[in-house]
Amino acid sequence: MIETRDLVKRFDKYTALNGINARITNGCIYGMVGSNGAGKSTFLRLVTGVYRPDGGEVLIDGEPVFDNPAVKSRLAFVPDDLYFLNSASMRRMARLYASIYPGFDWNRFDFLAQSFRLDPTRPIATFSKGMKRQAAIIMALSCRPDYMFFDETFDGLDPVMRGLVKGLICEDVADKKATAIITSHSLRELEDICDHLALLHEGGVILESEVQDLKTALFKVQLAFLEPFDRSRFAGVDLLHYQQSGSVANLIIRGNREETVEKLRRLEPVLLDVLPLTLEEVFTYEMKKLGYSFDDVLGREEESHEQKAV
Amino acid sequence: MNKKRFDKKLYAEGLRQLRVLGIVFLGISALVAVLNSVGSWISLLSIGQEELKGTLPVMVSASDMMPFIQLSFLLFAPILSLKMFHFLTDRKSSDFYHSIPQTRACVFLSFFAAIVSWLLMIVLGQAAAAALSRIVFPGFFRFSAAELLRSCLSAAAAGFYTAAAAAIACSITGTAFSNVIVTGLLIFAPRLILSAIVGSVSSACYVMVPEKLSFFFNNDYNLVVRMLSNFLSQRGTTAFSWGPVLYTAVLGALFVLAALLFYRKRRSEAAGFAAPNALLGAVYRLTIAFIICLIPISLIFGSIVKGTKLDVMDRFEIFVLYLIAVIAFYLYELIMTRKLAMLKKATLSLLLLPLLNVLAIVLMVTAYRSTIRFRPAADEIRAISVYDNTDTAYFLGQSEENYFEAQAEKLLITEPAAVKAAADGLAQTLDELDEINQGHYRGDRYSLTIGYKTQTGKTVYREVRVSEAQYDTILKGMRALSEYKEIYTKLPDDSATLSLALYAGKMDAAARSRLYEALRRDAAAMDFDSWIGILRGEIFSIDTLHVTKTENGTTSSFNVPITPELPETFRVYGQELQTDNAKQIEELLASVKRVESVRLSAAVPMDTYMVSASLQGSVFSAGSGEALQFQQTYQIGSSWYPNEETAHALLDILEKSKDNDLTGGRIYLLLGASTELWGVEAYNEYGYWEQILVAVDTDLTPEEFAQQFLWGKKR
């Protein structure tokens, strides 16, 4: 289990992480989302023992990570900015990893290189950005780690490779009870793979929950009445969002779906539709309730990029 | 070994990462050594086989065999270190090595071990290449394997130190440029600052003896500084001693510990930044600026202690140098950060520069005042010891002490008159300090280094100018000690610690040992004053025996002139020389005769070759104190013609000299005979020279002999 207590990291006067508490149980895939500068990479560097915390502590299975080879030998970290030796091939890098990680599995390395269709003797410098990322993932997975950390790893991977990597991560988690922490800007990248999600903003976790809970805890209802009405008609319902346009109202509700729908049905609406929410919508409304704007937290720019892409 | 401190696989990885550089450096070192050997061989061959006979094999020193050994520690070792820890200058590589499952200490020590391994391979590889490339020319060279290994040891210690300095630099800076600058500062700045401060104080304070301050202040203890200055000043290598090797190795070990500490404390996020924090950044800038300030500091200090006013030129010089220091301060910051805005932030630390200057000057003035404050009365002195600088006429070797003086210095003189003369001498020197500082030297003063052992047991050394009377009284006090005479007359006999060399004559080690044994017998049997006179070189000599004693890391030496005044020594010298040269004399005679035949041969076109034979040397008799010098050159093919009569007479002398035992002669001939051949077209010059000592049993005086046989007549 990974546990952080009041984790603080500062860079000069800038506080990158401000008292983060997290418990990540074994055998889960933990997603972290947040905009640039939210502290995702810093969190991963602290958890993998690259950085020394300025406050609080990081424990893996009850042991501190920093400068602790016994713990670090069970970790593999794929950072956003990848490191390869100058003019090294994948095989040369594998030799480096093999000399560092006691559990490095050459068979798995060969198997993965073949699966990803990468030539292990070719200089990595000649690889495309995506191929380099694949090479780094191969190295990490060949170490047979108990804990895997991926920082923006899916960026630059094509959908096929993304699926392959996700499959490999899931396989390790399922077979070995390994634990993975994956960070991303994009919630959509994570929602189909993560068990848990945490939202980081300005060095703090503002939301953390199991994905399944998030998805079932909120739902959207569209209602229409013949007679005039307003928000007060829904007293007793935990409304996260209310929007009315003429005789039609859209409600985002938290609570037990069946009980709430039954309660609303008793108000005799002429229209009552229960609609599922995407994870992104769930986050949007949850954060609004906490006083944050989703666009601000995950970055309006990213949103607009995604819209363009659509 | 504990895996927390060292990991074999990581060490192997370090070796792999340095493989390209290591092989290149090893290749360069070995190639230089081999080319040097081949060059020496070609040089010997060009002299000609005939002329070479009798001189081979040539004894070559370690510095001749590895002329660029300095590269291994001045360039290769720091570069290897900078390359190994280069990952600390880049964020992604730094993060990678900080994420791996080894302790930081383990990463550092395993990688540093790889650096040291490559360094040893380079140094030993160079030595092996040098040795093998000399061995493949059998009969041409001989060398001491022990000396070669000692040279390797010195280079390895120096390389260890520079590699460690570079490792510290990598641990406390985060860019390649700052790595290099800080490496240079760590290697040279402390010694530079120390030398400049001690030099300034001692030059203003005549009585101070910097060599006696502490070994710490002696630049020769730092092998990097010593070998570099030897190389730059073309001094050749100074004698090996353990002291500097140990000092440099210990300093290197301390640097390694410091580097390890800094590496462990280092934050991965420091990569890419010239300094991991503002404090260290200020230290680097201030060190660079402070080095430039050393000259103005010295000028200001000199003005303060001498009580003189700085003239306009001095003031201008000080202004310019301070300006340069400030520019260097900002320039460093600008190069490192590339942000003009940072200059403003750096300005705050610039305020420390004047403070440091003031501190340095205060420190120097305090040291100066403390030095001149020592003015003990005779009754405050328990004993004195004396290092007689006037006896150094035959003291050669810039970093070596005179053996006798160093031994005599250990003697404690308690004789009251001598002690009083020493106390008075110091007081007088201090009174004359202003005069001395202004460069007024008095001919009636003798310079002595005196150790004053006070009643508290503390010994303080001072350079003192004593009057003739004081000098005589002190020396009388010293010479009255029975141990004093023993030091001079009982020459050291521990052959393991001795190294013997002749300036002119060529003898093997065994012959030199026999010569030294004869010298020991002469010294023990001689009248003390005559022996001292000989040691001071107050007599004509035909050669000089240089004796070096290395013991407990200290090297001292003395020279003894080879003169007929040392009968046993002189006889053995002649015998050994003639024995060694018997074959060479044959060759010389053959050579001289061959030249004559060339002259007489009409087959040699005169405008193509110019051939000459020359004889030069001295004629002297035992006890004459001086010699008649002569030089006679016979040139063939020019307007000069040889005096055949004289030439034949000398050839006869040379013939006879082969059997000469040097005991029956009343006058002696020291002959240097040579033949020279010039190929005009190729501008090649070949020479062959041999020194021969001949005793002549004749009723003629040296003058008459020279007149009759040597000076000849031109036609």
pLDDT, tens digit, 9 for 90 and up, residues B75-113 = 999 999 999 999 999 999 999 999 999 999 999 999 999
Residues A20 and A162 in one domain: yes
When comparing pLDDT for B213 and A160, which is higher? A160
In a domain, A207, yes or no: no
Residues B92 and B229 in one domain: yes
Q: So what's the pLDDT on residue B684?
A: 42
In a domain, A208, yes or no: no
In a domain, A87, yes or no: yes
Query: How many Å separate Cα B22 from the centre of its chain?
Result: 30
DSSP code of residue A1: -
Q: How far apart are CA B581 and CA B505, in angstroms?
A: 10
Tell me whether B91 touches chain A (CB under 8 Å): yes
Q: Which residues of B touch A48 (CB under 8 A)?
A: 99
Q: How far apart are CA B240 and CA B153, in angstroms?
A: 10
Give the nearest partner residue to B92 out of A48, A79, A96, using CB atoms.
Answer: A79
Q: Residue window 249-268, chain B: list those with CB within 8 Å of chain A.
A: 264, 267-268
The string over B415-444, giving b where at least 16 C-beta atoms fall within 10 Å of a residue's C-beta and e elsewhere, is beebbbbbbbbbeebbeebeebbeeeeeee
Q: How far apart are CA B269 and CA B283, in angstroms?
A: 20
> What are the Cα distances from residue B45, in Å, to B40, B41, B52, B686?
9, 6, 8, 11
Q: Which residues of A touch B110 (CB under 8 A)?
A: none
- The verdict on a CB contact (< 8 Å) between B101 and A73 is yes
Amino acid at B243: G
Residues B437 and B452 in one domain: yes
In a domain, B128, yes or no: yes
In a domain, B620, yes or no: yes
Residues A25 and A150 in one domain: yes
Residues A129 and A277 in one domain: no
Give the nearest partner residue to B9 out of A81, A83, A99, using CB atoms.
Answer: A99
Residues B541 and B670 in one domain: no
Residues B124 and B155 in one domain: yes
Residues A159 and A39 in one domain: yes
B7: closest CA of chain A, how far (Å): 9
Q: How many domains does chain B have?
A: 4
Query: Residue holding tokens 């207590």?
Result: A5
In a domain, A76, yes or no: yes
Residues A279 and A167 in one domain: no
Q: Which two tokens stand for residue A271?
A: 């229209």
Q: How far apart are CA B243 and CA B553, in angstroms?
A: 5
Domain carrying residue B615: 581-710
In a domain, B264, yes or no: yes
Give the nearest partner residue to A82 out of B92, B98, B267, using CB atoms.
Answer: B92
DSSP code of residue B413: B
Tell me whether A133 touches chain B (CB under 8 Å): no
Confidence class for position B316, pLDDT limits 50, 70, 90: very high
Average pLDDT of B232-256?
A: 78
Q: How many CB atoms neighbour CB A57 within 10 A?
A: 14
List, in sequence order, every residue forming a beta bridge with A180; answer none if it has no partner: A29, A148
Average pLDDT, chain B: 78
Q: Which two tokens stand for residue B64?
A: 């001749």
Give the nearest partner residue to A83 out of B10, B17, B92, using CB atoms.
Answer: B92
In a domain, B325, yes or no: no
Confidence class for position B256, pLDDT limits 50, 70, 90: very high
Q: Which residues contact B379 (CB under 8 A, 6 or more apart)?
A: none
Residues B459 and B540 in one domain: no
Q: How far apart are CA B286 and CA B349, in angstroms?
A: 8
Q: How far apart are CA B622 and CA B130, in angstroms?
A: 46
Q: So what's the pLDDT on residue B551?
A: 67
- The verdict on a CB contact (< 8 Å) between A69 and B101 is yes
Confidence class for position B157, pLDDT limits 50, 70, 90: very high
In a domain, A195, yes or no: yes
Q: Residue B485 above 60 pLDDT?
A: yes
> What are the Cα distances from residue B215, in Å, to B63, B153, B165, B250?
25, 20, 21, 14
Domain carrying residue A116: 2-202
- The verdict on a CB contact (< 8 Å) between A96 and B13 is yes
Residues A60 and A138 in one domain: yes
Instruction: Give the percent of chain B with pLDDT over 90.
Output: 30
Beta strands per DSSP E along B98-241: 141-143
B15: closest CA of chain A, how far (Å): 12
The enclosing H or E element of B131 equals: helix B104-135
Residue A259: CATH number of its domain: 3.30.70
In a domain, A302, yes or no: yes
A33: left (phi over 0), alpha (psi -120 to 50) or beta: beta
CB of B371 closer than 8 Å to CB of B208: yes
Residues B550 and B474 in one domain: no
Residues B431 and B556 in one domain: no
Report helix angle B19-47 to B8-17, nearest 10: 60
Residues B555 and B594 in one domain: no
B356 class by beta-carbon count within 10 Å (0-12 exposed, 13-18 middle, 19+ buried): middle
List, in sequence order, every residue forming a beta bridge with A17; answer none if it has no partner: A9
Its ipTM equals: 0.86
Q: So what's the pLDDT on residue B682?
A: 39
Tell me whether B17 touches chain A (CB under 8 Å): yes
Residues B125 and B211 in one domain: yes
Q: So what's the pLDDT on residue A306?
A: 45
Q: Residue window 29-58, chain A: list those with CB within 8 Å of chain B.
A: 45, 48-52
Q: Residue B452 above 60 pLDDT?
A: yes
Which of A12, A83, A92 should be substituted to probe chain B, the one whose Cβ sees the most B Cβ atoms within 10 Å? A83
Tell me whether B233 touches chain A (CB under 8 Å): no
Query: Residue holding tokens 């889960």?
Result: A28
Residues A151 and A116 in one domain: yes
Give the nearest partner residue to B13 out of A51, A70, A99, using CB atoms.
Answer: A99
CB of B209 closer than 8 Å to CB of B463: yes
- The verdict on a CB contact (< 8 Å) between B12 and A83 is no
Q: How far apart are CA B323 and CA B41, in angstroms?
A: 54
pLDDT, tens digit, 9 for 90 and up, residues A172-203 = 898 888 999 999 877 888 888 898 988 888 88
In a domain, B284, yes or no: no
Residues B128 and B255 in one domain: yes
Q: B58-60 and B141-143 as β-strands: parallel, antiparallel, unpaired? A: parallel
Confidence class for position B650, pLDDT limits 50, 70, 90: low
Phi, psi of A117 (to 5 degrees): 55, 45
Q: So what's the pLDDT on residue B110?
A: 96
In a domain, A54, yes or no: yes
Q: Which residues of B touch A133 (CB under 8 A)?
A: none
pLDDT, tens digit, 9 for 90 and up, residues B355-397 = 999 999 999 999 999 998 999 998 899 989 887 655 444 444 3
Q: Residue B643 above 50 pLDDT?
A: no
Which of A46, A99, A181 should be substituted to probe chain B, the one whose Cβ sees the most B Cβ atoms within 10 Å? A99
Q: How far apart are CA B183 and CA B159, in angstroms?
A: 13
Q: How far apart are CA B569 and CA B575, in angstroms?
A: 10
In a domain, A188, yes or no: yes
pTM (two decimals): 0.74
CA nearest A94 in B: which residue? B13
Q: How many domains does chain A have?
A: 2
Q: Residue window 103-122, chain B: list those with CB within 8 Å of chain A.
A: 103-104, 106
Residues A221 and A185 in one domain: no
CB pairs under 8 A between A and B: 65
Which of B17, B83, B96 should be substituted to probe chain A, the one whose Cβ sees the most A Cβ atoms within 10 Å? B96
Phi, psi of A122 (to 5 degrees): -80, 140
Residues A196 and A229 in one domain: no
pLDDT, tens digit, 9 for 90 and up, residues A72-122 = 999 999 999 999 998 899 999 999 999 999 889 999 999 999 999 999 999
Local mean pLDDT, 10-residue blocks, chain A (310 residues)? 92 87 90 84 94 93 92 93 92 94 93 93 93 94 94 85 90 90 85 87 82 82 91 88 90 88 91 85 75 61 44
List, in sequence order, every residue forming a beta bridge with B621; answer none if it has no partner: B667
Q: Residue B677 above 90 pLDDT?
A: no
Q: Residue window 94-123, chain A: list those with CB within 8 Å of chain B.
A: 95-96, 99-102
Q: So what's the pLDDT on residue B319?
A: 94
When comparing pLDDT for B25 and B467, which is higher? B25
Residues B553 and B635 in one domain: no
Q: Residue B616 above 60 pLDDT?
A: no
Residues A33 and A139 in one domain: yes
Residues A298 and A186 in one domain: no
Q: How far apart are CA B36 and CA B28, in angstroms?
A: 12
Residues B438 and B542 in one domain: no
Residues A136 and A172 in one domain: yes
Phi, psi of A250 (to 5 degrees): -110, 125
Q: So what's the pLDDT on residue B160?
A: 96
DSSP code of residue A123: B
Q: Residue B640 above 90 pLDDT?
A: no
Q: Residue B449 above 80 pLDDT?
A: yes
Give the nearest partner residue to B268 out of A50, A75, A81, using CB atoms.
Answer: A50
Residue A147: CATH number of its domain: 3.40.50.300
Confidence class for position B239, pLDDT limits 50, 70, 90: low
The enclosing H or E element of B543 equals: strand B543-551
Q: How far apart are CA B414 and CA B468, in angstroms?
A: 20
Q: So what's the pLDDT on residue A146?
A: 93
Report helix angle A90-100 to A106-115, nearest 10: 150
Beta strands per DSSP E along chain A: 2-11, 14-24, 29-33, 55-60, 63-64, 75-78, 147-151, 179-184, 196-201, 204-210, 218-224, 239-245, 248-254, 271-275
Q: Which of A176-180, B405-409, B463-467 has the lowest mean pLDDT?
A: B405-409
B267: closest CA of chain A, how far (Å): 7
